[in-house]
Amino acid sequence: MNGAVIIDKPAGKTSHDVVREVKKILGAKKAGHTGTLDPMATGVLPVCLNEATKLTGFLASQDKEYLATMLLGVTTDTLDIGGKIVSESDKIPAEEEIRALLARLTGKIKQIPPAYSAVKYHGKPLYKWTRKGIFPETAPREAEIYNIIIENISLPTVTFRVVCSKGTYIRTLCSDIGEKLCCGACLSALRRLRSGFFSEDMAVTLNSEENENYEYSGKKSELLKNMLPMAKLMPSLEVIEVEDSFADKIANGWQPSVAMMKTHVLPSLDQGDMIKFINSEGKLIALAEITVAANKLRHLDENYPAAKIVRVFNNISN
């Protein structure tokens, strides 16, 4: 049971709650998600199982798409509607001013992680420090807004769709918008529509509280039916199918040489490209980084390393 299931996270549960529930339903040994959603948020939460947990770091680095609703005129200590109100203002700007500001927000930005977040400070999440009344200073982090589109304005609320990089805090984005508009703002609703390749039309709901007997509730079979095999989890990467002898060498720590890659390499591959090695059954064997462009292989010694293995997988059951 190696792969990923895409869960439509309900409001009120932490991402960790969802991972624990999926792990229990499926009886998996290991499970992990590819990017935290706040308890109030809903939407796409990919959960990787067993060998696929080795891919969480790669999958978490992909861009995200959200549908967010912002409440103008209200600021809170958590930067969302669930927090304690810090200030209120009735000086709500005109719709034209709001549209003009959001139109200028694309590009790289700096964000200070929210005090109530899972970002680690001295080994502990910030929210644990905050709950003790301690507010550590954290350095701004770079994020990028690729696209932002206003879906609806019904003052004092503004609903917008945003495509952004890993590590973008939508709560912080709303707070910063409110500051720029001189009225304050907080996040009032959030749904993740997409996480990299994974979209909401691929997501499965849990609703497992209806029946604690997971084995007979039908939920286990539904999750298994919708599980994505490891070989399909990073569809943008080039695929190289290798014979069993090649796969065995990789499993034993071998780094592909020019001699071996000459018969497998794709002409389009360039230095730095990531690739997937699969076996004849289509199962994921390893991820590798190309160290030599394909058009330069013929000029190098046959023992020269042509690719660097970055992850190896036990492919028996994925």
Domain ranges of the chain: 3-62+198-228, 69-182, 237-312
- The angle at the Cα of 276, spanning 205 to 292, to the nearest 5 degrees, equals 145
Cα dihedral sign, 312-314-316-318:
negative
Topology (CATH level 3) of domain 237-312 = 2.30.130
**Selection from 293, 165, 289 nearest residue 237 by Cα:** 289
pLDDT of amino acid 296: 81
pLDDT band for position 23 (50/70/90)? very high
Higher pLDDT among residues 140 and 43, named by residue: 43
Higher pLDDT pick, 165 / 115: 165
Q: 77 an active-site residue? A: no
User: Which of the two residues, 123 and 163, has the higher pLDDT score?
Assistant: 163
CB count in 10 Å sphere of residue 165: 16
Q: Containing H/E element for 57?
A: helix 56-60
What topology does CATH give the domain 3-62+198-228?
Answer: Pseudouridine synthase (3.30.2350)
Structure tokens at 229: 């095999």
Task: Reply yes or no on domain 69-182 having CATH 3.30.2350.10.
Answer: yes
Pairing type for strands 274-278 and 238-241 reads parallel
What sign for the dihedral angle of Cα 232, 234, 168, 174?
A: negative
pLDDT of residue 216: 46
- Contact between residue 37 and residue 148 where contact means Cβ atoms under 8 Å apart: no
| pLDDT at residue 260 in the model | 76
Mean pLDDT of 251-263: 81
Quick check: 267 pLDDT over 90?
Answer: no
Does the structure show a pLDDT above 80 at 295?
no
Q: pTM for the complete prediction?
A: 0.86
| Summary mean pLDDT of the chain | 86
Residue 117 has pLDDT above 90, yes or no: no
Q: What is the mean pLDDT of residues 235-263?
A: 84
- Angle at Cα 86 formed by Cα 83 and Cα 92, nearest 5°? 105
Which one of the listed residues 8, 38, 80, 176 is annotated catalytic? Answer: 38
Task: Tell me the backbone φ, ψ of residue 129, rounded to 5 degrees.
Answer: -65, -45
Q: Are 164 and 143 in contact (CB under 8 A)?
A: yes
d(CA 316, CA 119): 36
Q: Which residue has better confidence, 264 or 48?
A: 48
69-182 matches 3-62+198-228 in CATH topology = yes
Tell me if 59 sits within 8 A of 161, measured CB to CB.
Answer: no
pLDDT 10s digits, 140-187:
778 899 999 999 999 999 999 999 999 899 999 999 999 999 999 999
Q: How open is the CA angle 305-310-315, to the nearest 5 degrees?
A: 110
Q: CA 295 → CA 120, 236, 267, 273, distances in Å?
A: 44, 21, 7, 14
Q: Answer with the residue of higher pLDDT: 17 or 270.
A: 17
**What integer pLDDT is reported at residue 136 of this predicted model?**
53
- Higher pLDDT: 13 or 267? It is 13
pLDDT in tens, 198-225: 999 999 998 755 455 554 468 888 999 9
